[in-house]
Chain A
Amino acid sequence: MKTGKPQFNTIRLLENISIGSAVFAVVLCVLIIVNYIQVKRADPLNTPAMSALVEKLQNDPGNEQIRQEVRTLDLLARKAFFTAQWQVRTGGYLLFISILLLVSCVKAIELMQVKLPDAPYGKPALFWENRILKRRWLVYSGAGLFVLTLLLAWLTHNDMGKDLETAGNREPQSVNRDAGSGIRDQGPGNQKPAAGNSDSVKASPDSSSNILHPASDYPSWQEVKLNFPSFRGPGGIGITERTNIPTSWDGKSGKNIKWKTAIPLPGNNSPVIWNDRIYLSGASESKREVYCIDALSGKILWTSTVDKIQGSPSQVPGVSKETGFAAPSLTTEGIRVYAIFANGDLIALDMDGKKVWAKNLGMPANHYGHSSSLIMYRNILIIQYDQRSGPAVMGLSGKTGEQVWKTSRNVKISWASPALVNTGKRMELLLSAEPCVACYDPLTGKELWKLDCISGEVGPSLAYAKGIVFSVNEYSNLSAISTGETPKVLWENNEYLSDVPSPVATDKYLFLLTSYGTAVCYDAAAGTKYWEHDFGNPVYSSPMLAEGRVYIMDKKGVMYIIKAGKEFSMLGQCPLGEGSFCTPAFTNGHIFLRGDKNLYCIGK
C-alpha cells in the first residue's frame, strides 16, 4: 500500500477547499440573513421619497414630469425589492452548494485519512456513580417538567370551555342578547315578545325586515317567534305570541273574511308564514307544487312545480285519503322555504320560488303516507323520517341540503311532527314514536334522553310548557314528562286520548282534544282533570293557543274558541264554510285557515 506524499497533498488541498467553502458558507449565511431582514422590512411602494412625489403629483396632477419620476422610482423600488428576493434565493442555492462542497471534502478526507482510534486512556467511567446521578437528574427533570406544566396550565387557563358552552347556549336567551346589542340590526326582531302566552306584542311581523345573523345567515330565535315558520307555530308546540287575533267570522256571509284563495292542488299541510308571505304545498298522484301567497291580498305570488328531482321514485306512494300526498307542512327560516312530499321528494326554494336544491330521501315506507312536518333550527332543516325501514331523524344544511347529522332511531313508524323547545338551559328537539318520547340536540342530533311511554301508530305531536312535555296517542297513554337531565313521567292518564290532533299546554293547563271532538283540560303539573266538553264533531286539526284562548277547528271547518282556563268557557263558534283538516296559522290581527279547497284570511 502506498500512502506517500501525493496523498498528503490531496488531503491538504481538500482541507483548504473545505475551509474555503466553510468561510464562504458563513459569509453567505450572514448575507442571506441581512438580505432577508431587508426584504422583510422593505415596503417599496411606501418609501418617503415615493410618498413625497405622490403628494406633489396630487397637488399638481397635470405635471407630466412628476408623473414620469413616480414611474421611474416605482420601477426602481420594485426592481430593488425583487432583486433582493432573488438574491436570497440564489444565496440559498449557493449556500447549499458551498455546504455540499464542504461536506464532500470533509468526507473525502475522512475516507482517505483514517483516524486512529483513541488509545485506551484513563479509568473506565464510574458506572454506578453515574447511574445514581442519572436517576437523580431524571427525578429533577421530571419534577421540573411537572412544575413547568402546571405553571403553564395555570397561566394559560381562561375557562375557554365554559365560554364556549355559554356562547353555545346563549341563543335561547337571545332576547336579552339582541336588544340593542348591535349583533343584529335594530328592528322588529329585537322587540320584546309577549310575556307568557297572553300578553300582547306590539310588533307586527308583517313589517319585519329580514334580520339575519351576520355571522351565519340565520334568523334569531326571537325573529322566528315573531313569525309562524312551521306547523303549529314557532317550535311546533301549538302556541303563538301574535295578538289581536279575531274571535268571530263567518265564511258563508263573508264576515271578517278578508280574502279567500283557491289552492290549485289539494294538501293537508297547514300554512306557514314568514313576514307577509304564506307558504303551502299541494300534490296529486303525479304533480307536486309549492305556493307562495301574499298575506295582504291573497294573491298567489308564485307556484313552484316540484319535479325532475334526482332519485324521485316513479311509483305513486300508497297514502290514505285522509293523509294525501302533501300532508307535511313546510318550514322556512326567511331565506329559503322547504317542502317535503309523500314520495320523499324534498325541495328548498328561495323566497322567489326558485329551486336552491332538491333531493329524494327515499320512498317512505309508510302505510298511511308520510305526514311529519318539517322544522328549522337556525339553518338546519330537521326531518323526522320515522319509516318502517331505517327510522331516523336528520339535520340538513338549509343552504346546501347536505346532511349535517343523522341519528338512527329504534322506533316504529310515526306520523307526528318534531317539536323544538327552549328549556331555558338548552334547545331540545322532541320526537314522539312508539315506544318512546325522545329528546335530541338540534345542532348535532345527539340523543339527550328518551323515555318509553307511548305505543301504537303515533299521530299527535307533542305539547310543551314550563319544562313539561306532553305526549299522547290513541290506545296508549297521555303522559306528562319533566324534561332536562333526568326526565321522568310526572303523571299519566288514559281516559281521553287523541288519534290525530296534538295537545297544547300553558304553564298551568293542558288542553287535549280527541279525534272524535272532546276537549279536556288538565292541571299541567298534577294531571287533575278540570273539565271536558264534547263539540260533537270529529277534529283532525290541532288546537292552537293564542292570547289566552284555544282555537279548535273541527273537520267541518267550525272553529271553537274557548278560554284557556280552569273552567270551560266558549268564547266563539265560527264556521269557515268548508271542511278542514289543517291547523290555523297566525299573524298579528289575522288567522289563516286552509280549508279543503281554499285558503282564508280572517281579520277584522
Chain B
Amino acid sequence: MPKPVCVSPGLTVTPLRKTAGTFMLTASATLLSTMAMAIQRFPKPEFESAYTQPQTQIPLPRGEFLAYLDVFVLFASLCLITWLVLKKRSRFWVFFMSLFSLAYFGFYREGCICSIGAIQNVSLALFDHSFVIPLSVIAFFLLPLVFTLFYGRTFCAGVCPFGAFQDLFAFKPQALGSRLNTVLGIIPYLYLGLAVLFAATGTDFIICRYDPFVGIFRFNASFGMFLFAGILLLSGVFIARPYCRFLCPYGVLLNWTSRFSRKHLSITPKECIQCRLCEHSCPYDAIDVPVTTKSPETRPAMVKKMMMLTILVPFLVLIFGYTGSRLQETFAGVDSRVKLAKEVLALSKMQDAGNKMQDDSYEIKAFKASGKTESQVYSEASAVLKKFYVGGWLFGGFIGLAIALMTGGRMLPVYRTDYVTNKGRCFSCARCTDYCPVKS
C-alpha cells in the first residue's frame, strides 16, 4: 500500500481509497441489479386465474454445522477486527470489515442469532432449567464479552451488524453534549433490566420483538417496525449509532467489561502531543479530554458527598425495588398466561352476569381445546404475577443501583494529561486514530 504523503493520513487520498470508492459503487450496482431481478421473481398474484393457496411451510431449524459455522465466523471476525483496530489502527479496514459483518450477520443470517438477543436466552436458561440453551447461543453471548474484556469494544466496531448498519448513516454526527449523553445513558439499563425480567419469567423476548433492524434484514418489517427503524436511521444521520448508545442492552455489559480492558485502543500510538486535533473526531462523544485542573469542590466536601451516596445506595435500591415491585401487574399484563387468565376471568364474569356471549377469541378456543382447567389458568397466572413481584424488586433495585453508581462514578477524582478514549463508551471504530498526527 502506498505510504501517505501528508502529515496526517486523514488528509490523504491514497489510490487505495480511490479504488475502494469505485469498488463501493460497483458493489452497490451489482447488488441493485440482483435486487431488481429479485423483484421480478415475485410477480403480483393473478386472480383471474385459479389461485391455489400456498402450503404453509415451517422453516427447518438451521443445521448444527451451520450454527457452528456462525460461531466460527464470529470468532474469526472478532480476531480480525481486533487486529485491525489495535494493530493496524485502520478505520478504512474497520469500515470494510463492518460491511462484511452487515452482509453476513445482518442480511445473510437475517440478524439472528445475535449477541444482543442472546442475553434473553441466557437469562431464561438461568431461571428456567427446563430451557435448553444451544452452545452456539452461549458462544454468541460470551465471545464478544471475552474479547471486550481484553481488547475493548472491537465487537461494536465491526462485527455487530446493527452497529455496522447505523454506522453507514452517520453522515453528519453532532456532539450531543455530555449531560444529554449521561441522561440518555440510563435507557440501556432500563432496557437490559426489562429484557432480562421478561425473558427470565418466560414472558417474552422483547429485544427480538422490538428489534428495529431485523425487519429490514429480512425485508419483511411490519409498518411500525419499519417506521421505528426509519426514525433510528434518520436520527442516526446526526446522532451517530443511536441504538448502540441509547438503547442497546448488550452495550451495558460491553461497557462494563470494556472498562477492565488492558489493551484498549488509544487515540495516539505513542505520547499525546496535546494538538487537540482529535478533540471533535469522535461521533459518539467517547473521547475524554485531559483534566489537569483541580475540582472546584473541596476534598472534604466530595468525601462527604461520597459518604452520603454510599449510605443512600441501599436506600435507592430499596425504593426503586419497591416501585419496580409495584409495577408487577403492568409487567405481568404482557405475559400471555396472564392475558389468558384475564380473558377467562372476564368471560366467566360475563357469564355470571348473564350477559350474552360473544364469539370466543382464538386464545379462549385454544384454552378450551387444551383441556386445562380455569383454576390451572388462574394459578399459572398467579405464579407469573408472583414472579413479576420478585422480578420487579430485582429490576427496580438494579435501576436504583445503576443510577447510584452512575452518579457516584461522577464523584471520583480525575486526573489525566492526555486525550483518551472513554473505555466504556468507545466503540473502537478507529476514526480518531486517523486524526492523530503521531504515528507509530
Q: Which residues of A contact B (CB under 8 A)?
A: 1, 3, 7, 10, 14, 29, 36, 75, 78-79, 82-83, 86, 89-90, 92-93, 96-97, 100-101, 103-109, 111-120, 124-125, 127-135, 137-139, 141-142, 145-146, 149-150, 152-154, 156-158, 160-161, 163-165, 167-168, 171, 177, 181-183, 213-218, 378-380, 397-400, 404, 441, 443-444
Closest 7 pairs (CB-CB, A-B):
A153-B326, A120-B276, A399-B371, A168-B378, A108-B21, A104-B28, A183-B351
B327 contacts chain A at the CB level, 8 A cutoff:
yes
Point out the residues of chain B lying under 8 angstroms from A75, CB to CB. Answer: 47-48
Point out the residues of chain B lying under 8 angstroms from A163, CB to CB. Answer: 345
Min CB–CB distance A55 → chain B (angstroms): 24
Bound complex: CA A164 to CA B329 (Å)? 12
Bound complex: CA A92 to CA B217 (Å)? 12
Bound complex: CA A273 to CA B75 (Å)? 68
Report whether B18 and A112 are in contact in the complex, using a CB–CB cutoff of 8 Å: yes
B374 contacts chain A at the CB level, 8 A cutoff:
yes
Bound complex: CA A101 to CA B373 (Å)? 58
B281 contacts chain A at the CB level, 8 A cutoff:
yes
Contact of B368 among A10, A14, A181, A217 (CB under 8 A): A217
Specify which of B38, B375, B399, B406 lies most central, judged by the most chain A CB atoms within 10 Å of its CB.
B375
Report whether A141 and B403 are in contact in the complex, using a CB–CB cutoff of 8 Å: yes
Report whether B371 and A78 are in contact in the complex, using a CB–CB cutoff of 8 Å: no
Report whether B329 and A117 are in contact in the complex, using a CB–CB cutoff of 8 Å: no
Report whether A181 and B352 are in contact in the complex, using a CB–CB cutoff of 8 Å: yes
Assuming A142-B400, A181-B351, A182-B353, what are 16 further A-B pairs, CB within 8 angstroms? Answer: A1-B12, A10-B21, A82-B44, A86-B44, A100-B31, A107-B21, A111-B17, A118-B277, A120-B279, A124-B279, A125-B178, A128-B297, A135-B411, A164-B382, A182-B354, A216-B371
Min CB–CB distance A80 → chain B (angstroms): 11
Q: Find the A residue at minimum CB distance from B180.
A: A137
Contact of B275 among A97, A103, A120, A145 (CB under 8 A): A120
Contact of B396 among A132, A149, A378, A444 (CB under 8 A): A149
Point out the residues of chain B lying under 8 angstroms from A182, CB to CB. Answer: 351-354
Report whether A124 and B290 are in contact in the complex, using a CB–CB cutoff of 8 Å: yes
Report whether B371 and A217 are in contact in the complex, using a CB–CB cutoff of 8 Å: yes
Contact of B12 among A114, A161, A168 (CB under 8 A): A114
Q: Find the A residue at minimum CB distance from B345.
A: A167
Bound complex: CA A160 to CA B410 (Å)? 41
Q: Mark B295-315, 1 if CB is under 8 A from A, else 0.
A: 111000000000000000000
Contact of B326 among A106, A150, A171 (CB under 8 A): A150
Can you spell out 26 A-B residue pairs with CB atoms less than 8 angstroms apart?
Answer: A1-B13, A7-B18, A36-B223, A75-B47, A107-B24, A109-B21, A114-B10, A114-B434, A117-B10, A118-B279, A118-B281, A127-B293, A128-B295, A128-B297, A134-B178, A134-B182, A145-B403, A160-B342, A161-B329, A164-B345, A167-B374, A215-B347, A215-B364, A380-B373, A404-B376, A444-B379
Point out the residues of chain B lying under 8 angstroms from A111, CB to CB. Answer: 17-18, 20-21, 24, 92
Specify which of B12, B24, B216, B326 lies most central, judged by the most chain A CB atoms within 10 Å of its CB.
B24
Point out the residues of chain A lying under 8 angstroms from B348, CB to CB. Answer: 167, 183, 215
Bound complex: CA A464 to CA B262 (Å)? 71
B25 contacts chain A at the CB level, 8 A cutoff:
yes
Q: Given A106-B171, A111-B21, A145-B186, does the pair A152, B39 have CB atoms closer than 8 Å?
A: no
Q: Find the A residue at minimum CB distance from B296.
A: A128
B126 contacts chain A at the CB level, 8 A cutoff:
no
Contact of A114 among B13, B35, B182, B293 (CB under 8 A): B13
Q: Find the A residue at minimum CB distance from B352.
A: A181
Point out the residues of chain A lying under 8 angstroms from B344, CB to CB. Answer: 215
B253 contacts chain A at the CB level, 8 A cutoff:
no
Min CB–CB distance A262 → chain B (angstroms): 37
B168 contacts chain A at the CB level, 8 A cutoff:
yes
Q: Given A152-B327, A217-B371, does the pair A112, B354 have CB atoms closer than 8 Å?
A: no
Q: Which residues of B contact A (CB under 8 A)?
A: 2, 5, 8, 10-15, 17-18, 20-22, 24-25, 27-28, 31-32, 35-36, 38-39, 42, 44-45, 47-48, 92, 95, 168-169, 171, 178-179, 182-183, 186, 216, 219, 221, 223, 226, 230, 275-281, 289-291, 293, 295-297, 316, 319-320, 323-324, 326-330, 332-333, 338, 341-342, 344-345, 347-348, 351-354, 364, 367-368, 371-376, 378-379, 381-382, 385-386, 396, 399-400, 403, 406-407, 410-411, 414, 434-435
Report whether A112 and B21 are in contact in the complex, using a CB–CB cutoff of 8 Å: yes
Report whether B319 and A168 are in contact in the complex, using a CB–CB cutoff of 8 Å: no
Report whether B329 and A156 are in contact in the complex, using a CB–CB cutoff of 8 Å: yes
Bound complex: CA A114 to CA B378 (Å)? 64
Point out the residues of chain B lying under 8 angstroms from A125, CB to CB. Answer: 178, 289
Report whether B182 and A164 are in contact in the complex, using a CB–CB cutoff of 8 Å: no
Point out the residues of chain B lying under 8 angstroms from A138, CB to CB. Answer: 182-183, 186, 403, 406-407, 410
Report whether B289 and A124 are in contact in the complex, using a CB–CB cutoff of 8 Å: yes
Contact of B179 among A117, A128, A134, A157 (CB under 8 A): A134
Report whether A161 and B333 are in contact in the complex, using a CB–CB cutoff of 8 Å: no
Q: Find the A residue at minimum CB distance from B412.
A: A131
Point out the residues of chain A lying under 8 angstroms from B289, CB to CB. Answer: 124-125, 127
Report whether B230 and A29 are in contact in the complex, using a CB–CB cutoff of 8 Å: yes
Q: Given A82-B44, A101-B28, A111-B21, does the pair A160, B13 have CB atoms closer than 8 Å?
A: no
Report whether B330 and A156 are in contact in the complex, using a CB–CB cutoff of 8 Å: yes
Bound complex: CA A127 to CA B295 (Å)? 9
Bound complex: CA A135 to CA B178 (Å)? 11
Point out the residues of chain A lying under 8 angstroms from B12, CB to CB. Answer: 1, 114
Report whether B280 and A118 are in contact in the complex, using a CB–CB cutoff of 8 Å: yes
Point out the residues of chain A lying under 8 angstroms from B27, CB to CB. Answer: 104
Q: Find the A residue at minimum CB distance from B419.
A: A124
Report whether A117 and B323 are in contact in the complex, using a CB–CB cutoff of 8 Å: no
Bound complex: CA A403 to CA B289 (Å)? 64
